[in-house]
Amino acid sequence: MRQSEFYKTRWIAEKLRNAIDFFPVIILSGARQTGKSTLLQNEMPFKDWHYITFDDLDVLDIAIKRPDEILNISSNLVIDEVQRAPEFLYSVKRAIDRDRDRRIVLSGSAKLLLMKGVSESLAGRAVYLDLMPFSIGELFDKKYSGWLEGFINTGRLDTNKITYYESRDIQESLFRGFLPPVTFLKNSEHITEWWRGYIKTYLERDLRQFAEISYLSDFKRMMQLLALRTANILKQSDISRDAGLSHSTTGRYISILEETGLFTRLMPYSKNISKRLIKSPKVFLLDTGLICSLSGFSTIEAIPEGFKGAMFESLVFLNLSVIASLMSADVMYFRTQGGKEREVDFIIEKGNKIIGIEVKLSDSVSIKDIENLLFLKDETKAFAGGLVIYTGSEIKQLASNIYAVPYLSLC
């Protein structure tokens, strides 16, 4: 039975529906267990389309040897785990060129846009969308409000659009994570075992599909080192040294993590800024639960106090990434170098406007928390406003267009 009583509406679903009006092919990528198959089997019109998965080895064999047999089943198809047969995409191109009225959704556990030849074979025919773990709003089963987009457009905060949720134990949320299957687990032992199984499956199954990794233990050790550096500047030479890997091997492993959706390099914002700026990316892993597991924290109590701030920043990054994808915006960060360094945790850029965002794992905020936002405001005319995202429960105006907002209002 496809329709599940446990299904939570994904905000990206409306963007998927809009896309089929303009593009014959939709490529929905995302890491393992983000809920791609569940979304497509529960949302209209996709749940009524013919569904095929290349996890079925017999189907996969036909797709590789006689792809037209698959493509001729229906004019509207959902094809899952398509990364298992990259050459199938060339047959999709031919089928679309013969009939531009047909619609095909290709779903996979890798970022298909990064796979060799995909963008060339489907250029002008496909739109690429990425499904992430649950945002806070999705987890609460709330509709996307769009207040953040309104803020960047106007510099004014429409508090009527901001929804408040009941208080949550932030530490428990950070430990559990936000991949759909794990959000239903409450027992810490079950959560720990689930994430161990997730990592084991990734290493032993997914990696074998995408790359020849001679020593999985080396790859896992590099993942652990990246987890411990989440929300920090990526220094690849340090990772190489600590993992005992060559610089080129480390770079290749990091690229594989990106392609499989478990890792993001957040690039710095530099447009129209005259100061000397950090050019290296920041490191973020997919999910705080994954970070905990890779870092060896098997209970909430095991998470060091000094590490919780980086995990909270990772949680905010996940939510900002989901929202930015809906509003066709970019997420970056800002940091100067030399002298008194200035850093703003996140920048959201849309068109010629930006908002700066600081993250604070605290129930209180003060004027001191917006010093770097005021610095950024003075540095660029693109500055539309600023936010301090914190664990408190009130919206507070801290300057003319700078506000503190609860993290539970990110929707």
Q: pLDDT tens-digit profile of 27-39?
A: 999 999 999 999 9
Residue 320, C-beta contacts closer than 8 angstroms, at least 6 positions apart: 331, 346, 348, 357, 410
Q: What is the mean pLDDT of the chain?
A: 90
Q: Would the pLDDT of 157 be above 70?
A: yes
Based on the domain organization, do 188 and 87 belong to the same domain?
Answer: no
Based on the domain organization, do 184 and 274 belong to the same domain?
Answer: yes
Q: Which of these ranges, 39-53, 161-175, 196-210, 236-250, has the smallest mean pLDDT?
A: 161-175
pLDDT of amino acid 2: 43
**Better-predicted residue by pLDDT, 1 or 249:** 249
pLDDT of amino acid 1: 38
Question: Per the structure block, which two tokens stand in for 281?
Answer: 């990316």
Confidence at 3, pLDDT banded by 50, 70, 90? very low
Residue 198, C-beta contacts closer than 8 angstroms, at least 6 positions apart: 32, 33, 179, 290, 293
Distance, in Å, from the CA atom of 106 to the CA atom of 235, rounded to the nearest integer, reads 35
Q: Which of these ranges, 49-58, 204-213, 279-288, 315-324, has the smallest mean pLDDT?
A: 204-213
Distance, in Å, from the CA atom of 189 to the CA atom of 293, rounded to the nearest integer, reads 12
H helices of 233-350, in order, are 236-243, 247-259, 288-295, 305-326
Final residue belonging to a domain, choices 83, 105, 130: 130
Give how far the C-alpha of residue 231 lies from the chain's centroid of Cα atoms, to the nearest Å.
14
Q: Average pLDDT for residues 116-131, to the nearest whole number?
A: 77
Final residue belonging to a domain, choices 65, 100, 130: 130
Give per-residue pLDDT as tens, 167-185: 567 889 999 999 999 998 9
Confidence at 164, pLDDT banded by 50, 70, 90? low
Strand pairing report for 383-390 and 282-285: unpaired
Nearest-CA neighbor of 284 among 231, 344, 359, 324? 231
pLDDT of amino acid 84: 84
Distance, in Å, from the CA atom of 295 to the CA atom of 215, rounded to the nearest integer, reads 20
Distance, in Å, from the CA atom of 124 to the CA atom of 119, rounded to the nearest integer, reads 9
Beta bridge partners of 343: 335
Q: What is the domain-level CATH number for residue 88?
A: 3.40.50.300
Based on the domain organization, do 277 and 153 belong to the same domain?
Answer: yes
Phi, psi values for residue 52, rounded to 5°: -135, 140
Distance, in Å, from the CA atom of 174 to the CA atom of 166, rounded to the nearest integer, reads 17
Based on the domain organization, do 60 and 186 belong to the same domain?
Answer: no
Give per-residue pLDDT as tens, 260-303: 889 999 999 988 776 777 789 999 999 999 999 999 999 999 99
Kindly state whether residue 205 falls inside one of the protein's structural domains: yes
Contact by Cβ (8 Å): 183, 176: yes
Based on the domain organization, do 124 and 140 belong to the same domain?
Answer: no
Please give the tally of structural domains in the chain.
2
Contact by Cβ (8 Å): 41, 180: no
Residue 230's alpha-carbon distances to 223, 263, 322, in angstroms, are: 11, 10, 18
pLDDT of amino acid 116: 54
Confidence at 340, pLDDT banded by 50, 70, 90? confident
pLDDT of amino acid 321: 97
Residue 254's alpha-carbon distances to 163, 221, 282, in angstroms, are: 37, 12, 13
Kindly state whether residue 1 falls inside one of the protein's structural domains: no
Kindly state whether residue 171 falls inside one of the protein's structural domains: yes
Contact by Cβ (8 Å): 308, 292: no
Exposure of 265 by Cβ count < 10 A (0-12 exposed, 13-18 middle, 19+ buried)?
A: middle
Based on the domain organization, do 113 and 199 belong to the same domain?
Answer: no
Kindly state whether residue 121 falls inside one of the protein's structural domains: yes
Range of the domain at 65: 12-130
Based on the domain organization, do 246 and 265 belong to the same domain?
Answer: yes
H or E segment to which residue 128 belongs:
strand 126-130
Which amino acid type is present at position 283? V
Based on the domain organization, do 103 and 144 belong to the same domain?
Answer: no
Rg, Å, the chain Cα set: 22
Final residue belonging to a domain, choices 100, 115, 130: 130
Based on the domain organization, do 337 and 315 belong to the same domain?
Answer: yes
Q: Would the pLDDT of 117 be above 70?
A: no
Q: Which of these ranges, 143-147, 206-210, 324-328, has the smallest mean pLDDT?
A: 206-210
Based on the domain organization, do 283 and 402 belong to the same domain?
Answer: yes
Helix axis angle, 188-201 to 288-295, nearest 10°:
90
Q: Average pLDDT for residues 56-85, to the nearest whole number?
A: 93
Residue 200's alpha-carbon distances to 185, 206, 401, in angstroms, are: 19, 10, 47
